[in-house]
Amino acid sequence: MKTITVNIDSRNYPIYIGNNLLINSELLSKHIVGKQVFIVSNSTVASYYLDTLLATCQGYKTDFILLPDGEQYKTLTVLNRVFDQLLLNHHHRDTTILALGGGVIGDMAGFAAACYQRGVPFIQIPTTLLAQVDASVGGKTAVNHRLGKNMIGAFYQPKAVVIDLNTLKTLPEREFRAGLSEVVKYGLIQDANFFNWMEQSAEAILQKEMEPLAWMVQRCCEIKSNIVAEDETEKGIRALLNLGHTFAHAIESVTHYQRYLHGEAVSIGLCLAANLSYQMQSLSASDCERIKQLLLKLGLPVSIPADLYKKQIITAMGLDKKNIGGQRRFILLNQIGNGIIHDQILHDVIEQVLV
Ligand code: NAD
Ligand code: GLY
């Protein structure tokens, strides 16, 4: 088992990465504060892992709630069911909430923990690759509003993140690949060696070989925790984690969140961000091509499909000239391994990239 510490003032917490951590009651007990535990999960994840976690929590007064599975249920209305069950089951201020699932469950359980009785401890137990390398680390918690994704939320750090790599064995292949785009993102913004290693290890990773998989998750968590330690509330460097995401969110929005998984849209967004960096003369054509080839090798989409209109995407990015005077903040690459924040991207350059 590897342990990484996220250093945030007086709220340091460990990220544990290993196998069979779900059955490690000693490990979990270290971070359970009182005598009560409340597990938040969904029916899909629960069918694989709830009984195991309940057994691990023996000795605590444990209750659970299974939320419906899907991004469309990441709402305040559904979150209220969590508060109902916590109250009906008499959970006090020293209860510990366990988030067992992907990013949707992690974001919702984390936000419930931030709000319930003005804040109770919680532990992230992420079961998708995307949640293990990204969503469970760094304390962003939220639900969606009908007018915008993740619009209601809080920065609220967990007491620990417990990553059991075995849970990836039941994750659908498409979800696994989608998570890999966020992995590539870390190499792009901060670690050229890691990007090189991804190029060499792509097959082993797709085969889910345990050693490279464990190293990959560890490296992502290290990069993310360093960034979060420096800039918890995204006043500066944390924005690098949004590489490709402005494009991705627009693509998800114009396809009504039906056609692409988030990570797939991020993959297209990474290629567009690389192309934008090339247009701005900060990235070479050969690096652009390497990025595209790695994402293709990982089975991810790399371009906007022909049936989507450039204009729709520009509008969805809030980039209409009339709205913003043609300029907006983007994350660019100086080279592979070096992301930069750029505030002066001209509308016309973005149009060229979207051709
Ligand atoms: P998800 O939580 O919807 O999980 C994807 C699917 O996999 C679901 O159907 C889920 O039930 C299933 N699943 C999860 N674990 C499984 C397992 N081990 N075996 C089988 N099936 C399993 O999606 P996601 O990609 O994990 O997360 C996306 C969410 O994360 C979005 O809401 C996004 O906003 C959020 N997010 C948050 C942050 C953050 O910093 N807080 C960062 C990135 C994304
Ligand atoms: N997923 C971006 C962040 O945590 O800041």
pLDDT tens for residues 76-92? 999 999 999 999 999 99
Choose the catalytic residue: 159, 177, 249, 292: 249
pLDDT at 307: 86
pLDDT digits 0-9 by tens, 10-65: 899 999 999 999 999 999 999 999 999 999 999 999 999 999 999 999 999 999 99
Q: Which of 108, 111, 122, 128 to mutate to test the pocket of ligand 1 (most atoms within 8 A of CB)?
A: 128
- C-alpha to C-alpha distance for 216 and 221, rounded to whole angstroms: 9
Tell me which residues of the chain have a pLDDT lower than 70.
Answer: 319-327
Is 140 an annotated catalytic residue?
Answer: yes
State if residue 276 touches ligand 1 by the CB under 6 angstroms criterion. Answer: no
CA of 242, closest atom in ligand 2:
2
Same domain (yes/no): 86, 203 = no
Instruction: Provide the residue type at 153 as one letter.
Output: G
State if residue 48 touches ligand 1 by the CB under 6 angstroms criterion. Answer: yes
pLDDT at 326: 52
Q: Among 118, 139, 170, which residue terminates a domain? A: 170
State if residue 135 touches ligand 1 by the CB under 6 angstroms criterion. Answer: yes
Is 145 an annotated catalytic residue?
Answer: no
For the chain, give the mean pLDDT: 94
Total number of domains constituting the chain: 2
Residue 45 domain boundaries:
2-170
Same domain (yes/no): 178, 85 = no
Q: Among 170, 188, 209, which residue terminates a domain? A: 170
Same domain (yes/no): 249, 132 = no
Q: Mind giving me the DSSP string for 27-40? A: HHHTT--SSEEEEE
Contact 351, 310 (CB under 8 A): yes
Same domain (yes/no): 199, 96 = no
Percent composition of the chain: helix, strand, coil (DSSP 3-state, to 5) = 50, 20, 25
Neighbours of 182 (CB within 10 A): 26
Contact 216, 203 (CB under 8 A): no
Q: What is the whole-number distance in angstroms between the Cα of residue 222 and the centre of ligand 2?
A: 14
Give the predicted TM-score (pTM) of the model. Answer: 0.96
Same domain (yes/no): 150, 202 = no
Q: Among 148, 170, 192, which residue terminates a domain? A: 170
What is the per-residue burial (b if ≥16 Cβ within 10 Å, else e) of 150-167?
Answer: eeebebbbbbbbbbbbeb
pLDDT at 352: 86
Choose the catalytic residue: 31, 140, 185, 292: 140
Same domain (yes/no): 180, 33 = no
Same domain (yes/no): 10, 146 = yes
pLDDT at 309: 80
Same domain (yes/no): 212, 149 = no
Q: What is the whole-number distance in angstroms between the Cα of residue 243 and the centre of ligand 2?
A: 10
Is 230 an annotated catalytic residue?
Answer: no
pLDDT at 320: 54
Same domain (yes/no): 235, 108 = no
pLDDT at 323: 44
Same domain (yes/no): 214, 324 = yes
pLDDT at 148: 84
Contact 290, 342 (CB under 8 A): no
CA 344 to chain centre: 27
CA of 234, closest atom in ligand 2:
5
- C-alpha to C-alpha distance for 333 and 190, rounded to whole angstroms: 10
Same domain (yes/no): 202, 339 = yes
> H-type helices in the chain, by residue range?
25-29, 43-56, 76-88, 103-115, 129-130, 173-190, 192-206, 210-230, 245-254, 262-279, 285-297, 310-316, 321-324, 347-353
Q: Which of 74, 108, 130 to mutate to test the pocket of ligand 1 (most atoms within 8 A of CB)?
A: 130
Q: What is the whole-number distance in angstroms between the Cα of residue 60 and the centre of ligand 2?
A: 32
Same domain (yes/no): 158, 275 = no
The CATH number of whichever domain residue 273 belongs to comes to 1.20.1090.10
Is 219 an annotated catalytic residue?
Answer: no
The CATH number of whichever domain residue 37 belongs to comes to 3.40.50.1970
- C-alpha to C-alpha distance for 224 and 135, rounded to whole angstroms: 10
Choose the catalytic residue: 91, 182, 219, 222: 182
